[in-house]
C-alpha cells in the first residue's frame, strides 16, 4: 500500500493539513466542510461530543464550552473546565489534530506518518506538549519542524528557480510572530537565526479592535458593551475589511442599544502600532545577532494570514528597505513545507520514485533558538563564598544536531552532592533570576574525597529540538541523566481520545 505522508500546521487560530501526492507535489487537503484551513477552535456539545472548526468558531467567545487560542498555553498548566471535567491545552490540541486526521483519511486512507510544525521560538515544554497532542490524536509523528523552516522549504520548492543567498521569512499568523534568516543554495536550506514573540498575532489585533469598539459604544450610548455583542469573530471580520478598505461600519444591536459605529483604518493602525513596533525590534535583533544587515538579504518572504494587512507590509518594507514577496496563499505555506519535510525524513522505501525526486536535492539544517545552560558556583579566590551563576552550554544559533560537553569540578572537600539543573533563556544571561529552569535534579557523590573532582556535563540537542543532558562524576562514573523529550512526565494529556466523537 502507498504511504500517506502529511504535514500539519497546528496554528493558534487556524490549522492546515497537507499531503504529498504520488507525484511528489504537496497539496492542501480540504476539511469535510470544504475549507483549506480549519479554525483551531474546539466546542464541547456534551461530555463526549466535540466539534472542531468553523461551526465551533461561530459560537467562540459566546459559548462557555467553546475554546480557542490554546496553542498559546501549550506546555503550561492552564486548565479548561467543561461539564465538571478539566482539560489541558494538550488535549484541546489533540481534538484539532484528530479532526484534521479524520478529514484527510476519509479520502486518502490511513496516515502513515506526519510532521507537525512548531513556532521557532516555542520553549522545550511547548514542543513536547505538541508531540504529545499528536500522539494522543493517534498520529505517528517522528519529527517536528520549525514553522519558518517549513515555509522556507516550500518557498525553495515552489519558486521554480534556483535560490541562492540569504532570505528572511517573516511569519505573522493568528497568535505568534516569527522571523527567521535562512541561507539557501539550491535545495540546501540553513537556518542562520530565528527569533519571535510568542504572544503576538492577529488575535491581538482583533482585541485592539474590540477595545476601539467598546470605547466608541460607551461614548455613543453611555453604556458598557457586553462582550457577546461584539465577539472576537465580529472583530476578525471587520479587521479583514480594514485590510482592503479605509473604514468599516459596525452595526451593533444589543439590549443596551442599537448603534452603527465607524472605525477607520487609521484608528485601527494607531491602536496596533506598539505591537508592530515589537515585531520591528525583533527583526532588527535577529539580523544584528548574526552581524548581518538588510543589504545582505535577497528577499523577504511573508507567511501567515496577518501579513495580508497593509500596515504589516509597510512595516516590513520600512525595516528591510525592500518590498517583501508574498505567497499566493500565505496561510498554506507552512503545512505544504511540512509535507515536503515528512518525505525528506521518511524512509525512502516508503516513497514513490517521483516523491523521491521531489526531495532528492533538499538538505536542511536548523539551529537552536534559545540558550541552554546550567547553574554553577563561580569561586572567587579572595572570598570563601562562591557566586551562583548561569553558565551557557548550548548557544542560540548552534547548528543542529549538536552536543556540547563542559568540565566542571566539585568545590569543597567531602562534597557528597551536586545540584544539577538545566536553564533556558532567550539571551546570554549569567543572572539566574532572569533564566527559566526547565529541569532540576541532583547527583550523589561518594564521600571522603578532596575538592576539585571532575564533573562532566553534556547537553545534546537533536533536529526535533529536544534535548538530552547528562551530569557525570568522572572518577566514580556515577551519573544523572535527563531526556527532555517525549517522555517528560510533567506534560501529559488528560483524555483518552477514543472516548470522544470529534467532528
Ligand atoms: P494563520 O495562522 O497564518 O492562518 O493566520 C491567521 C490570522 O491571519 C488570523 O488572525 C486572521 O484573522 C488573519 N488574517 C487572515 N486574513 C486576513 C486579512 N485579509 N487581513 C487581516 N488579517 C487576516
Give the C-alpha separation, 311 to 217, whole Å.
Answer: 25
- Distance from the CA of 173 to the center of ligand 1, in angstroms? 6
Nearest atom, ligand 1, residue 37 CA: 4
pLDDT value at 380 more than 80: no
Probe target for ligand 1 pocket from 8, 13, 200, with the most ligand atoms within 8 Å of CB? 13
Q: Whose CA is nearest to atom 20 of ligand 1?
A: 240
Q: Which residue has the CA at smallest separation from atom 18 of ligand 1? A: 240
pLDDT at residue 465 in the model: 67
How far is ligand 1, taken at its centre, from the CA of residue 14, in Å? 9
pLDDT for 2 equals 66
The residue whose CB lies within 8 Å of the most ligand 1 atoms, and thus the one to mutate among 305, 334, 337, is: 305
Residue 198 above 90 pLDDT? no
| pLDDT tens sequence across 94-132 | 999 999 999 999 999 999 999 999 987 788 888 889 999
What distance in angstroms lies between residue 305's CA and the mean position of ligand 1's atoms? 3
Distance 389 CA to ligand 1 centre (A): 43
For 319, residues 6+ apart whose C-beta sits below 8 A from its C-beta are 280, 283, 284, 294
- pLDDT of 254 reads 87
- Work out which ligand 1 atom sits closest to the CA atom of 330: 3
Ligand 1: does its nearest atom lie under 6 Å from the Cβ of 304?
Answer: yes
Radius of gyration in angstroms for the set of CA atoms belonging to the chain, rounded to a whole number: 25
Query: pLDDT tens digit string along 402-427?
Result: 999 999 999 999 999 999 999 999 88
Residue 316 per-residue DSSP state: H
Confidence band, pLDDT 50/70/90 cuts, at residue 358? confident
Name the residue at shortest CA distance from atom 15 of ligand 1. Answer: 305
User: Relative to the CA of 201, which ligand 1 atom is closest?
Assistant: 10
Look at residue 382 and tell me whether its pLDDT is greater than 70. no
Helix (H, G, I), strand (E, B) or coil at 242: helix
- Determine the pLDDT at residue 316: 98
The C-alpha cell at 374 is: 546550567
Q: Find the 172 Cα to ligand 1 centroid distance in Å.
A: 8
| pLDDT for res 124 | 80
Distances (CA, A) of 281 to 187, 287, 307, 316, 456: 30, 10, 17, 11, 38
CA 30 to chain centre: 22
Atom of ligand 1 nearest to the CA of 14: 4
- Measured in Å, residue 145 CA sits from the centre of ligand 1 at 22
Supply the residue whose CA is at minimum distance from atom 9 of ligand 1: 174
- Entry pTM: 0.82
Report strand pairing: 386-394 vs 297-303: unpaired
274-326 tens-digit pLDDT:
999 999 999 999 999 999 999 999 999 999 999 999 999 999 999 999 999 98
pLDDT above 80: residue 363: no
SS (H, E, C) 472-491: EECCCCEEEEEEECCCCCCC
Q: Give the pLDDT mean for 260-284.
A: 97
Closest CA to 312 of 202, 411, 417: 202
Closest CA relative to residue 469, chosen from 433, 423, 418: 423
User: What is the model's pLDDT at position 490?
Assistant: 56
Kindly state if the Cβ of 147 falls inside 6 Å of ligand 1. Answer: no
Nearest ligand 1 atom to the CA of 9 is 2
Contacts of residue 203, Cβ cutoff 8 Å, sequence gap at least 6: 12, 13, 69, 174, 175, 232
The dihedral formed by the CA atoms of 263, 264, 267 and 269, expressed in degrees to the nearest 10: 120
According to the model, what pLDDT value does residue 184 have?
85
How many A from CA of 174 to the centre of ligand 1? Answer: 6
Nearest CA to ligand 1 atom 16: 305
- Give the residue, by CA position, lying nearest to ligand 1 atom 14: 305
Report how far ligand 1's centroid is from the alpha carbon of 306 (Å).
Answer: 4
> 40 CB under 6 A from ligand 1?
no
CB 269 less than 6 A from any atom of ligand 1: no
- Is the CB–ligand 1 distance for residue 410 below 6 Å? no
| CA distance linking residue 23 with residue 2, whole number of Å | 12
Cα 391 to middle of ligand 1, angstroms = 40
Percent of the chain at pLDDT exceeding 90: 65
- CA 79 to CA 122: how far, in whole Å? 19
The tens digit of pLDDT for each residue in 452-500 reads 999 999 999 887 767 889 999 999 999 999 887 644 555 567 788 888 8
Amino acid at each position: 500500500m502507498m504511504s500517506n505522508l502529511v504535514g500539519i500546521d497546528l496554528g493558534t487560530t487556524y490549522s492546515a493539513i497537507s499531503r504529498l501526492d504520488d507525484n511528489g507535489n504537496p497539496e492542501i487537503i480540504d476539511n469535510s466542510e470544504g475549507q483549506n484551513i480549519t479554525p483551531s477552535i474546539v466546542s464541547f456539545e456534551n461530555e463526549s461530543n466535540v466539534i472542531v472548526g468553523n461551526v465551533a468558531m461561530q459560537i467562540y467567545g459566546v459559548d462557555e464550552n467553546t475554546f480557542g487560542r490554546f496553542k498559546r498555553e501549550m506546555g503550561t498548566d492552564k486548565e479548561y473546565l467543561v461539564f465538571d471535567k478539566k482539560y489541558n491545552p494538550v488535549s484541546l490540541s489533540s481534538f484539532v489534530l484528530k479532526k484534521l486526521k479524520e478529514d484527510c483519511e476519509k479520502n486518502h486512507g490511513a496516515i502513515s506518518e506526519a510532521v507537525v510544525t512548531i513556532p521557532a521560538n516555542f520553549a522545550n515544554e511547548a514542543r513536547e506538549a505538541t508531540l504529545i497532542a499528536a500522539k494522543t490524536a493517534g498520529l505517528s509523528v517522528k519529527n517536528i519542524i520549525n514553522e519558518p523552516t517549513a515555509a522556507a522549504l516550500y518557498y525553495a520548492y515552489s519558486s521554480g528557480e534556483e535560490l541562492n543567498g540569504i532570505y528572511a521569512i517573516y511569519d505573522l499568523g493568528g497568535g505568534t510572530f516569527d522571523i527567521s534568516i535562512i541561507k539557501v543554495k539550491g535545495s540546501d536550506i540553513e537556518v542562520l537565526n530565528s527569533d519571535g514573540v510568542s504572544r503576538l498575532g492577529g488575535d491581538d489585533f482583533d482585541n485592539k479592535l474590540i477595545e476601539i469598539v467598546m470605547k466608541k459604544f460607551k461614548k455613543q450610548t453611555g453604556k458598557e458593551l457586553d462582550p457577546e455583542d461584539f465577539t472576537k469573530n465580529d472583530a476578525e471580520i471587520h479587521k479583514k475589511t480594514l485590510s482592503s478598505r479605509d473604514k468599516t461600519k459596525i452595526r451593533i444591536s444589543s439590549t443596551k442599544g442599537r448603534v452603527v459605529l465607524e472605525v477607520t483604518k487609521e484608528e485601527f493602525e494607531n491602536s496596533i502600532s506598539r505591537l508592530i513596533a515589537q515585531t520591528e525590534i525583533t527583526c532588527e535583533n535577529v539580523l544584528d545577532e548574526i552581524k548581518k544587515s538588510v543589504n545582505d538579504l535577497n528577499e523577504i518572504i511573508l507567511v501567515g494570514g496577518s501579513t495580508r494587512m497593509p500596515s504589516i507590509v509597510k512595516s516590513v518594507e520600512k525595516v528591510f528597505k525592500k518590498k517583501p514577496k508574498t505567497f499566493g496563499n500565505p496561510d498554506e505555506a507552512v503545512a505544504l513545507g511540512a509535507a515536503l519535510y515528512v518525505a525528506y525524513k521518511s524512509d525512502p522505501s516508503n516513497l514513490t520514485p517521483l516523491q523521491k525526486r521531489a526531495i532528492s536535492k533538499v538538505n536542511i539544517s536548523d539551529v537552536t533558538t534559545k540558550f541552554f545552560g546550567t547553574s554553577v558556583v563561580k569561586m572567587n579566590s579572595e572570598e570563601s563564598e562562591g557566586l551562583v551563576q548561569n553558565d551557557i552550554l548550548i548557544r542560540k544559533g548552534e547548528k543542529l544536531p549538536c552536543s556540547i560537553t563542559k568540565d566542571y569540578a566539585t568545590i569543597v572537600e567531602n562534597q557528597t552532592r551536586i545540584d544539577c539543573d538545566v536553564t533556558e533563556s532567550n539571551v546570554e544571561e549569567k543572572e539566574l533570576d532572569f533564566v527559566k529552569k526547565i529541569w532540576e535534579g541532583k547527583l550523589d557523590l561518594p564521600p571522603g574525597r578532596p575538592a576539585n573532582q571532575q564533573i562532566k556535563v553534556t547537553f545534546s540537542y537533536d533536529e526535533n529540538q529536544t534535548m538530552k543532558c547528562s551530569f557525570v562524576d568522572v572518577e566514580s562514573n556515577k551519573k544523572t541523566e535527563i531526556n527532555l523529550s517525549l517522555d517528560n512526565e510533567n506534560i501529559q494529556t488528560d483524555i483518552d481520545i477514543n472516548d470522544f466523537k470529534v467532528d
